Structure 1
């Protein structure tokens, strides 16, 4: 057989496997099974992946829910744009909007209390990256992503958009305070 000339018998799959080929196929299959099992294990026990719920929504519906929460639980405003800081009680649905170059509103949560955090984007894909906790979620327009959050340490946490969303992407930061 030559590498230049085509094989005389073109039905290559009918040829018997060489011992080395069979060994590599077995190793590859075993590795695939290990990786598959590890994905399930790490999701359940490794605390690596967030379990989220996702629902279809519209900007109007989500804005109305967010505005109702802001009207009810605002404690102060911050920055030159007067972004409201919202302090909802535990076990309440908390809404956060991503839109071109801002997260709205800022949140003030209590340590050890559980909240259902609802996220959506109003315009383009955005990334919700909570630092320094290293929680990352892609926020997509038309979908409401719901994450159960229980802050376990006090402090000030930054929300950074990690999906490029335009010329002022670098200014798209938000804040979560944990008391």
Structure 2
């Protein structure tokens, strides 16, 4: 209820003022421009992730990741397997495939990659939908059980890169992290 009701009760039949019509036209044209630019950016942006995705049974994917980790687990100077907090550190072959498994509440295993070399990173979930966010880069992927995503990654810097789950996955969501280490 208005404090002072309009003199003409059929306000929608009032003519639109020229300035108001101008702003409506500008907003409409800007909306059209943004809509078509989003489509164009997909082709000219040069930052689109791979669309390589396969159906996979979660149990089968988990077996593949475990076999990968056992085959390529890094060793220390004494020949002992490298682990951090019970999670194996894995050195995949340069130019080869590397596997990461998302499960409540971890990304498994820790990958050690070489700077400037390309790797095909395979991602899938064993249980729920998780988010794969590689920090501080701008790589974000929704990881679903039953689907294997493949991303080609060429690290350009060294150091530890954190993996964070950015899809709420339960009470331990805030602890769901992982790591990719890049060395010279």
Judge same fold: TM > 0.5, yes or no: yes
Root-mean-square deviation over aligned CA pairs: 2.5
| Structure 2 residue aligned with 1:95 | 99
- Kindly state the Cα deviation for residue 22 of structure 1 after the two structures are TM-superposed: 7.9
SS, match of residue 91 in structure 1: coil
| Structure 1 residue aligned with 2:116 | 112
| Structure 2 residue aligned with 1:51 | 50
| Structure 1 residue aligned with 2:38 | 39
SS, match of residue 151 in structure 1: coil
Cα offsets for 1:140-168 (capped at 9, x unmatched): 11111111111111111111111111111
Instruction: Give the distance between the partners of 1:45 and 1:78, measured in 2 at CA.
Output: 42
- Of 75, 78, 82, the match for 1:77: 82
- Matched positions, count: 168
| Structure 2 residue aligned with 1:143 | 147
- Of 149, 174, 181, the match for 1:170: 174
Over 6 Å off, 4+ runs = 17-25
Gaps of at least 5 residues in structure 2 are 1-7, 75-80
Instruction: Give the distance between the partners of 1:112 and 1:158, measured in 2 at CA.
Output: 18
- Asked if structure 1 preserves the Cα contact closer than 8 Å seen for 2:59 and 2:126, the reply is no
| Structure 1 residue aligned with 2:65 | 66
